Structure 1
Amino acid sequence: MPTSAQHPYHPIIYVRGFAGTQGEIEETVADPYMGFNIGSTKARMAWTGDVKRYFFESPLVRLMSDHEYGDVFVDGEDLVTADRPDCVIPYRSIIIYRYYDEASKDFGTGETPPIEHFAKGLGTLILRLRDKVCANPKNAMTPEDFRVHLVAHSMGGLICRAFLQNTALRSEEARHAVDKLFTYATPHNGIDMRIVRNVPGWLSFGDANNFNRERMAAYLAVPPVDDVSVVFNFPPERIFNLVGTNPRDYTVAGGLSAWGAGDASDGLVRIENATTHGPDAKGNDVSSPRAFVNRSHSGHYGIVNSEEGFQNLTRFLFGALRVDGILDIDDITLPIEVQKELQAGKAVHSSYQFEVAASIRGCQWQMTRREVREHSAIFRTYEELFPGAAGTVRPPDRTRSPRLFSVFLDPNKSVKASGSVSFAFDLKVLVPDYEVDGLLFMKRHYEGGYIMRELILVEAFPDKSALGGWRIKYGFQDDNPGKPGISAETRELDGEEGIAFDIPIAQRTRPGVKGTLRLEARTWS
């Protein structure tokens, strides 16, 4: 772990996404910040009822204004790549990896190198940045302590993964310098369309075959299997996946891309393909932290130029506490009428959709949101939750427990008096369509109904005398609006640093849910 006093505010390297045509490449290289400087204007309803404009200035501007970062452009030159010993680079710097310059007719050969070449170049850039940063005495930085954050959009995330995973593409010292990777809308498991699953390997136009799974397996150094989202040689928990759920605002190719990707996508990347996982230090397969936002792949209302994206980005990079929510279900009861049909020997099937939205105190935007109407809800069949033969006792399968959210909390934005950080999450389990002997069972069915809904507030107070250094309270909005009042009984996480606590979920109705909301809190750095 880095020992620098600067931690966690390390230099940030932004790696942009795919440019398919020569015109797009030339447009890309003409922008000094390659899109990281693009903001958006959205309409929001004010407390007066008036609709007002909300301006998001861009990730670049907000990192500069909120976190004192700066760029590396001086007198028209990029100080990282220029040979200018008279200019020094501050530690909190934003660097744009301009890998498409080589493919430009203005700045390069006009020929696009393979993605492996871009991955090697990223390692070279990191080491060059390290040397420049360490040469600045104001940074008080040694090469051993130097760290960098990688922030990437779309194909940029694959370039970063190729650099991190494929030992043939980078030096160990460059990989060692990477502290965290944040990906926006990256097709970690390739691109699928309605008319063809898996971008064909022969589709070389604009190097679109970079998203073919066989081609991806080669440059990511993973076995040539259906799932190439697995991460090796880098901790999967230090990769954050921001997933878009809005295909409607993605207008590339006149909307053809959005139609091809389908509803459960950002207009190009399907939700199911936008996340990573891999073995942790103990060899257990774990999912990378992720959040879901109703934004498109790019464009005016794209995922990079969004407040939701910025809030997740900065809390993942700079936050001090990570909290994960998992719903362990002990029982889901059937309606009385359906239960009678089951007892009469008829075949009954059901499935469940879990909606969740998590919000941070003091922030106007939800950190993550998964909803049925946005085609992003968590889906489980009864058989997945309770595997086994019909008519037998079927214990729950905890490996299929819905993972609801990962949120990162920043004490720099805490309540000054108490130093506490707080968030809330709205959890719903929707009424399923029951099937009896192959027919939908529509008695007492109301579309949009749910068998459970709870809005839960959680507040963590720094306390050196408490287990894990945090004292935690929670509460139900229905019982005590706006104030968590129940002290959580915390316990140590099994085999790792951190604490966990349970929130019991009692069945209030039939059909209903009985189980436990398991929250795991880890110190984050």
Structure 2
Amino acid sequence: MSYEQDDVRLPIIYVRGFAGGAIEGAIEDPFYGFSTGSVHVRANRRGDPTFHQFESPMLRLMSDMNYEVRVHGDQKRYLDQATDKDIPAATIWIHRFYDVSASSIEDDPEKFSLEQAAINLFGLIKLVRLKTGAPKVFLVAHSMGGLICRCLLQRVIPEADVDEQGGHNPRAGEKYVASLFTYATPHGGIRFAVGGGFLERLRDFTGLFGADVFGPDRMYEYLTPDFQKDQEPRRRFKGTVIPEDGYSVSKIFCLAGSNPGDYKELFGLSSRAVGAKSDGLVQLENAVIEKAHSAIVHRSHSGRYGIVNSEEGYQNLYRFLFGDLQVTLDLINADVGHQDDSDLEFQLDMGLAIRGLPVLVHEQTAAHHCPVLVERLEQGEHPVDHPRPLLTTFLSSKAPRPLDEDGNRVSTLRHVLNLRLMSIREKDDDKTDSDHGESSIDMRDHLEQTADWEDALVVDILPGDGESELPKAWAAWTSTLARPVRLWKPREEGEEALVDVEPDVKDMWVGEVRVPSIARRLLGAKALIRIAVTPRTKDF
């Protein structure tokens, strides 16, 4: 049984998050949490709790993509005893790195080491590749597990990859890992909104339960290989940045959570200490690697409404690993500077719905403290030079498609971008000195939760043949449709496909649609949404 070259399914290795002082409890789960499901969506549109049975990411991968779990008592022993290339590639493995630190398993348990966990992960990857014949693996990680993966990719593998001249390859991780997907990983560390830095210094000084791995000094140690430390001194280190010559950020997807209220660890003290713009433990700005693919969902770090055991999390995971189309939407030519009110600021609420799914796969709203800020340009800047990225998502032409009202399988992939633009007039509060001060909302003409403009952009994509034919796309604002969006059939209604505005761009289709006329008065006369569709081909 050898790896089939046309199969997009690679072995998946799951790496769990931080257990702290609860290692003994963590190792009792044979799948380290990857098999945990849930029966809740946070709320429906009326704000009522809604029943939704999510089996778990592991079971969904088994049912949707025919993955197998081959543990059979002892995962390591099973792999060691298996014949090379005899295990299916479409298998799920668990990196049980905490086992060596558990007294219930080891007579002489080791103190947890993140670097050692990354070294052991490298050993597991090589063993899985050998026994399955797969060229690479997918890494899926929660919280600290993502830092273990980054230590592997940024330090462990590059230090082990030495050529005949003694040189190192910082991108050597790409020989082994096809993609990395992280749930709620503190790529920029964990800091607190209270304490003025004292809590971070106390954590990093004491290293209580190994929690100093979330501090900048330890992160610098395990994310920077020894041969690069002269080039990347500590003072220039930033955890959310992967060096340009390192593992490609295009192969990484970071899923962040915006719901701190449902994170109940430490009696809710963590979410209060971390602050509102977080999942209860990790701030949104620290949960994303710069220039990597990302999405935000209204989920907490873990627990009943946790990000791993959620439909939102799984849909982003599934589409990133197996999607054959990458769709990027940008706001182009936006110029709110033409407004005379210099103290007027704009916030854009945004949600992405995909036909057939019960959840939003991306959601940024002011209510969740993470709207898209449409900032004014500086003096002399031109709108065309400053596109504002809205989102990047992935679609699978092989995903099950619903039936239309006539009982026929729909042919296009449909997603809807819900947009809601709100203006806020701010006033400067009294300043204690010339450089510092805060602003607050000027309530004189403020209408809370009232949008200046809201609409939804419906985008239908017809996948190409994967060879000579590129995808086609149709787009329309719901305010212009003559029938409900559910019943809209662009080709039957005479709507033409969006024109490819950059036909010479290799392997990419690019189309544009202007914002509605009312929005142009706010965003500028030439403001438009640019849609780029890129067929994805595997590079393994």
TM-score bracket, shorter-length normalisation: 0.7 to 0.9
Per the TM alignment, residue 503 of structure 1 is displaced from its structure 2 partner at its CA by 1.3
Partner letter of residue 408 of structure 1? F
Change (3 A) 1:55 1:418: closer
Matched, 1:428 2:416: no
Percent identity, please.
Answer: 32
Q: How many residues align?
A: 483
Partner letter of residue 335 of structure 2? D
Per the TM alignment, residue 354 of structure 1 is displaced from its structure 2 partner at its CA by 1.5
Q: Residue 206 of structure 1 corresponds to which residue in structure 2? A: 209
Equivalent in 310, 313, 316 of residue 317 of structure 2: 313
Distance in 1 (alpha carbons) for counterparts of 2:240 and 2:207: 22
Distance in 1 (alpha carbons) for counterparts of 2:445 and 2:43: 36
Distance in 2 (alpha carbons) for counterparts of 1:104 and 1:170: 28
Contact 1:120 1:169 in 2 (8 A): no
Per the TM alignment, residue 44 of structure 1 is displaced from its structure 2 partner at its CA by 8.3
Per the TM alignment, residue 351 of structure 1 is displaced from its structure 2 partner at its CA by 2.3
Q: Residue 231 of structure 1 corresponds to which residue in structure 2? A: 242
Distance in 1 (alpha carbons) for counterparts of 2:185 and 2:92: 20
**Structure 1 or 2: more strand by fraction:** 1
Matched, 1:412 2:380: no
Q: Residue 221 of structure 2 corresponds to which residue in structure 1? A: 218
Distance in 2 (alpha carbons) for counterparts of 1:334 and 1:450: 19
What is the 5 A alignment of 1:253-272?
253-272=266-285
Q: Residue 471 of structure 2 corresponds to which residue in structure 1? A: 470
Per the TM alignment, residue 355 of structure 1 is displaced from its structure 2 partner at its CA by 1.1
Partner letter of residue 16 of structure 1? R
Partner letter of residue 427 of structure 1? L
What is the 5 A alignment of 1:330-479?
330-332=334-336, 339=340, 348-382=342-376, 386-388=377-379, 394-396=381-383, 398-399=385-386, 401-413=387-399, 415=401, 419-435=411-427, 441-464=442-465, 469-479=470-480
Contact 2:41 2:305 in 1 (8 A): no
Distance in 2 (alpha carbons) for counterparts of 1:50 and 1:294: 15
Contact 1:429 1:450 in 2 (8 A): yes
Partner letter of residue 209 of structure 1? D
**1:179-225 per-position Cα deviation (integer Å, ceiling 9, x unaligned):** 11000000001111012458333131111110111221221115523
Change (3 A) 1:4 1:77: same
Distance in 2 (alpha carbons) for counterparts of 1:270 and 1:479: 38
Equivalent in 297, 303, 306 of residue 302 of structure 1: 306
SS at match of 1:373: helix
Matched, 1:274 2:266: no
* Structure 1 unaligned spans of 5+: 135-144, 278-286, 343-347
Contact 2:470 2:507 in 1 (8 A): no
Q: Residue 189 of structure 2 corresponds to which residue in structure 1? A: 190
SS at match of 1:14: strand
Distance in 1 (alpha carbons) for counterparts of 2:44 and 2:297: 21
Per the TM alignment, residue 350 of structure 1 is displaced from its structure 2 partner at its CA by 2.9
Partner letter of residue 390 of structure 2? L
Change (3 A) 1:474 1:97: same
SS at match of 2:147: helix
SS at match of 2:474: strand
Partner letter of residue 293 of structure 1? V
Distance in 1 (alpha carbons) for counterparts of 2:472 and 2:375: 36
Q: Residue 529 of structure 2 corresponds to which residue in structure 1? A: 517
Distance in 2 (alpha carbons) for counterparts of 1:98 and 1:111: 14
* Structure 2 unaligned spans of 5+: 162-168, 225-231, 402-407, 431-439
Contact 2:280 2:301 in 1 (8 A): yes
**1:462-492 per-position Cα deviation (integer Å, ceiling 9, x unaligned):** 3459986111111111212323434211144
Change (3 A) 1:398 1:26: farther
Per the TM alignment, residue 6 of structure 1 is displaced from its structure 2 partner at its CA by 4.7
Q: Which deviates more, 429-438 or 62-71? A: 429-438
Change (3 A) 1:39 1:436: closer
Per the TM alignment, residue 271 of structure 1 is displaced from its structure 2 partner at its CA by 0.3
Per the TM alignment, residue 435 of structure 1 is displaced from its structure 2 partner at its CA by 3.8
Distance in 2 (alpha carbons) for counterparts of 1:6 and 1:230: 33
Change (3 A) 1:45 1:290: closer
Contact 2:424 2:446 in 1 (8 A): no
Q: Residue 23 of structure 2 corresponds to which residue in structure 1? A: 25
What is the 5 A alignment of 1:32-71?
32-42=30-40, 53-71=51-69
Per the TM alignment, residue 303 of structure 1 is displaced from its structure 2 partner at its CA by 0.3
